[in-house]
Amino acid sequence: MERASNRIVEKRRLADEVFLMKLEAPWIAREHRAGQFVIVQLNEDYGERIPLTIADADAQQGTITLIFQTVGKTTHKLAELEPGECVQAVLGPLGRPTHVAHVGTVVCVGGGIGVAPLHPIAKAFKLAGNRVVIIIGARTSSLVILEDAMRAIGDELIVCTDDGSYGRKALVSEPLRELCLRTPRPDQVVAIGPPIMMKVCAEVTRPFGIPTIVSLNTIMVDGTGMCGGCRVTVGGATRFVCVDGPEFDGHQVDFDNMIKRLSAYRDQEQAAHERCHLELAARRAEAHRP
């Protein structure tokens, strides 16, 4: 069998802490459908396995595009890799693909790094013949990503920032509410971003009865159904994000429980993150020494 090299062919910094990386991963590129993710590991002996969303895939070229934010040790180390280098392990595509159908008007809402996984989904809904309205938001102007790519897809694009430094000063839920009040109403909403944003978006659409898909990014070890670390409560039942998701009916997800579960290892993650920054700083100081 030909092996995937996972060689990095392109790397760009999209925002302060946000990177885009294109990898040679022909198997994953060929099978990838909108809504799926990969598990990445930088060191097979001691490295952790982290889920990352696939922002784009090109079956012809055999490449996938990952967009990630440097939030912990592994993502920082990933961001240090340069084109030509290889990522040791990439497993995927994982999770069930988005159910894409022709429904009419679809509102795609992306917050922060959540815009990355939203991109292939918005594209797929557009290709399926829907009218696609896209809302993207970020804390501040420097964190807005994929604006051009999204503008190319959407029939309408609304950009918001929390601090008003770019686009509209609003949370993404505000324009979403306005769209829900319009006639005709949107037929479907897809909301991806921080858990609290998805929760708020689901609350906005609930009174209108508009089906709302959310895509969950939880703690995971294997990503194949084996560990159950990713489990969430959906409609009162326990579901696994890796094999039953990552997408669920936003009106059924117990976000409060999910948010708490995400904090299970916070102390250890923070300590590792700090150590990682210290190491980085030390390495930079070393490099600048005459």
Partner 1 sequence: MNHPSPEELAVDAGRRLAELLALGRPLTTKERLAIPVQEMPAQDPVQRRSNMHEVALGYGPEQARLEALRCLQCRNAPCVAGCPVRIDIPAFLRAAAEGEFQQAIDIIKRASLLPAVCGRVCPQEVQCQAECTVGKALKDRARAVSIGRVERFVADWERAQGHVRRPEVRPATGRKVAVVGSGPAGITVAADVRREGHQVVIFEALHKPGGVLMYGIPEFRLPKRIVRAEIEALQAMGVEVVTNFLVGRTRKLRDLLEQDGFDAVFVGSGAGLPRFMNVEGENLVGVFSSNEYLTRVNLMRAYDVQHADTPIFRARRVAVLGGGNVAMDAARCAVRLGAEEVHLLYRRTEAEMPARVEEVAHAKEEGVQFHLLQNVKRILGDEHGRVRAVEVLRYELGAPDESGRRRPVPIPGSEFVMEVDSVIVAIGNDSNPLIPRTTEGLRTDKYGHIVVDERGQTSLERVFAGGDIVLGSATVILAMGEGRRAAAAINELLRSR
Rounded distance between C-alpha atoms, residue 183 and residue 113, angstroms: 30
- Count of other CB atoms within 10 angstroms of residue 60: 8
Residues contacting partner 1: total by CB under 8 A: 48
Q: Does residue number 225 form part of the binding site for partner 1 (CB under 8 A)?
A: yes
Q: Out of 76, 139, 168, 261, which residue is the one contacting partner 1 (CB under 8 A)?
A: 261
| Contacts (CB under 8 A) with partner 1, residues 31-70 | 31, 41, 43-49
Q: How far is Cα 285 from Cα 220, in angstroms, rounded to an integer?
A: 35
Of the two residues 72 and 194, which places its CB atom closer to partner 1 in the complex? 72
- Residue 231 CB, shortest distance to partner 1, in Å, is 6
- CA pair distance 23, 200, nearest whole angstrom: 34
> Which residue's CB is nearer to partner 1, number 51 or number 93?
93
Give yes or no for residue 229 binding partner 1 (CB under 8 A). Answer: yes
d(CA 144, CA 56): 17
CA 206 to chain centre: 23
| SS3 of residue 186 by DSSP | coil
Nearest to 210 by CA among 110, 128, 105, 136: 105
Q: Which stretch binds partner 1 (CB under 8 A): 78-86, 142-150, 166-174, 265-273?
A: 265-273
Does 273 contact partner 1 by CB under 8 A?
no
201, HSE (Cβ side, Cα atoms, 13 Å): 32
Q: Does 156 bind partner 1 (CB under 8 A)?
A: no
- Residue 152 vs 271, nearer CB to partner 1: 271
Spatial CA neighbour of 138 closest among 110, 118, 174, 179: 110
Does the protein bind partner 1 through residue 199 (CB under 8 A)? Answer: no
Applying CB under 8 A, the residues found at the interface with partner 1 are 1, 3-4, 27-28, 31, 41, 43-49, 73-74, 88-94, 221-222, 224-229, 231-233, 238, 240, 243, 254, 256-257, 260-261, 263-265, 268-269, 272
